Amino acid sequence: MSDAVGCTHDVFVSYSHLDRPWVVDVLVTKLEAGGVRVLIDDRDFEPGASSIENMTKAVKAARQTLVVLTPEWVGSDWTQFEGLLTTQLDPSARERRLIPIMRKRCTPPEWVSYRSYLDFVDDGRCDQQMERLIRAVRRSHSGVAEAVKIDVVNEGLRTLADLIAGGTARDALLEFRFRFESIAGRIDRMASFKEVHDQLHHLQLHCYDAIILEGPRIAQDDSAADAFVQYADTLQQVIDCLRALDAQPVFANARMTWIPTLQRALDQLNAGIETRDAAMVKRAAALIDRVLASEPARIDARLSDAASELELQAVIDAVSVVCCKAREAGLDAGKLNKLDQALEEMEHLDDTLVALVRSHAQWQDVDVTMRRVDTNMEADESELLDSWPEIKKQIAQLSAAAADWARNMSKQAASLDQAIEAKDRPAMLRHFRVYRKRAVTRFFAVDTDLHHNCKELRKAGDPLAAIVQALA
């Protein structure tokens, strides 16, 4: 594994000393056998140095911190301090600096619970989970691009279908048949919710925001009036796309009854463009705002539910089983290599989707709060003053310290703090709106990443269908 600046170890293990026998004899032993360089307290801490100094050095010296979650760890102030140090280095979890390992069932603190964990509770699955852990450590340290190689996943799934046809893996996979069948449908369900959310996001960025900004100028400014034709076309395209999505079976029990509200907005907007009437344009914007104030959060909640029900882990488990059977049977090395590569990419896809869906939901919460503040602050800045501390806290939890966008938002937040301290109301409004614009831009970047991964995931549908057919 390649060295990163300042890192002498791959992982630092944070654990309760009451769990030491398993950590030392099993976890550390197997990690080091897999080529992972482990830093652990009783072997590597500097004698004579304070505990805080040793912990701080250890977190900085390792690329990642493994947290062994048990009730004893949760109850220890020192072990939680080690984990907190790691989250400060990677608050958005984008660099995967913190990897939780659930050894005993417990309720982790909030700053751990929003990260996905590896399940080591069942000793029967520990070897499989250990392989996954070692692959995750290697992948994060090798500089692998963020994008998932879905073609590698598909090739591995096609290899699975071939193996089933030949009888090698059929018995091992029969228990997964119905789960494969349901996963294929859940992929479409999740992707459909994402498409609806994308349309609403597109509506805000390329129609609503522009109407609000340009609306007062429509009566006097010919160029502004011309631009409104494009905004109306955008709204029409969004409505057409939403109606097509609403006709899909996934929405059969939950129709998008708010689409007619957007149609009324379009009618008002077209009438306002024709008569150059700013009041009619404002009414159209109010109708759009009614939808944007409520529906994105509802769709995001359904998207999160669909992602949690996806059960990609079932596919990962199935491929792991076949990999073991293939090795035992002395299978062709080429086919085994395809399975190993597919397994690694599926784990990468699973981890990426979990992180993106969680980040997407958190940005959606921020967006809802900031929209409420923006709507009310023209009349009364008290909403901003009351909500600002929580907004800053929410975005700080999503910010990676080294990212340019995070630094820019931090500077803008400082400017807003100064305006609030000076009780300069016009400056408060100005700095908040710039801050909100940057937050929306970042939300859109997360939106785009999630859209790409959902689109890639859909490509796995055909190979999964082939496996289901082969198991029939």
Radius of gyration of the chain (CA): 26
Euclidean distance between CA atoms 94 and 258, whole angstroms: 35
Spatial CA neighbour of 95 closest among 4, 227, 187, 186:
4
Alpha carbons within 13 angstroms on the beta-carbon side of residue 108 total: 23
> Tokens 């060295």 sit at which residue?
3
Structure confidence by residue, pLDDT tens digits, 50-105: 777 777 787 778 888 888 999 988 887 665 565 555 554 444 445 567 888 899 99
Q: What is the pLDDT of residue 93?
A: 47
Return the structure tokens found at 325.
């059977």
Return the structure tokens found at 165.
């046809």
Q: Are 129 and 103 in contact (CB under 8 A)?
A: no
Give 117: exposed, middle or buried? Use CB within 10 Å, 0-12, 13-18, 19+: middle
Spatial CA neighbour of 397 closest among 28, 54, 92, 52:
92
Q: What is the pLDDT of residue 60?
A: 79
Element (H, E) at 459: none
Q: What is the pLDDT of residue 3?
A: 42
Structure confidence by residue, pLDDT tens digits, 11-46: 888 888 899 999 999 999 999 888 888 888 878 777
Q: What is the pLDDT of residue 168?
A: 60
Q: What is the pLDDT of residue 169?
A: 67
Per this entry, what is the length of the chain?
472
Chain mean position to CA 72: 29
**Which amino acid appears at position 65 of this protein?**
T
User: What superfamily would CATH give domain 9-141?
Assistant: Toll/interleukin-1 receptor homology (TIR) domain (3.40.50.10140)
CB under 8 Å, gap of 24 or more: what pairs does 286-291 form? 287/261, 287/262, 288/203, 288/207, 288/208, 288/211, 288/235, 288/262, 289/208, 289/375, 290/261, 291/200, 291/203, 291/258, 291/261, 291/262, 291/265
Q: What is the pLDDT of residue 234?
A: 95
User: Which ranges of 205-332 does DSSP label H, i.e. alpha helix?
Assistant: 209-214, 222-246, 259-275, 278-292, 295-308, 312-328
Q: Are 336 and 169 in contact (CB under 8 A)?
A: no
Average per-residue pLDDT in the chain? Answer: 81
Rounded to the nearest 5°, which phi and psi values hold at 273?
Answer: -65, -45
Euclidean distance between CA atoms 446 and 437, whole angstroms: 15
Q: What is the pLDDT of residue 4?
A: 47
Q: What share of the chain is helix, strand, coil (3-state, %, to 5)?
A: 75, 5, 20
Digitized pLDDT (tens) for each residue of the chain, 472 residues in all? 434 445 778 888 888 889 999 999 999 999 988 888 888 887 877 777 777 777 778 777 888 888 899 998 888 766 556 555 555 444 444 556 788 889 999 888 766 765 678 889 888 878 878 887 887 787 665 544 455 677 777 777 777 777 776 666 676 677 677 777 778 778 888 889 999 999 998 999 889 988 988 888 888 887 777 888 999 999 999 999 999 999 998 898 889 999 999 999 999 999 999 998 989 999 999 999 999 999 999 999 998 888 878 877 777 777 777 777 767 766 677 777 777 777 777 877 887 888 888 888 889 999 989 988 988 887 788 889 999 999 988 887 777 555 678 888 889 999 999 999 999 999 999 999 999 988 988 888 888 888 888 888 877 777 777 676 666 6
Helix/strand/coil for 257: coil
Helix/strand/coil for 77: helix
Q: What is the pLDDT of residue 2?
A: 38
Q: What is the pLDDT of residue 266?
A: 96
Euclidean distance between CA atoms 286 and 291, whole angstroms: 9
Spatial CA neighbour of 336 closest among 348, 349, 323:
323
Q: What is the pLDDT of residue 78?
A: 63
* pTM of the shown model: 0.68
Spatial CA neighbour of 15 closest among 35, 34, 31, 33:
31
Q: Are 68 and 33 in contact (CB under 8 A)?
A: no
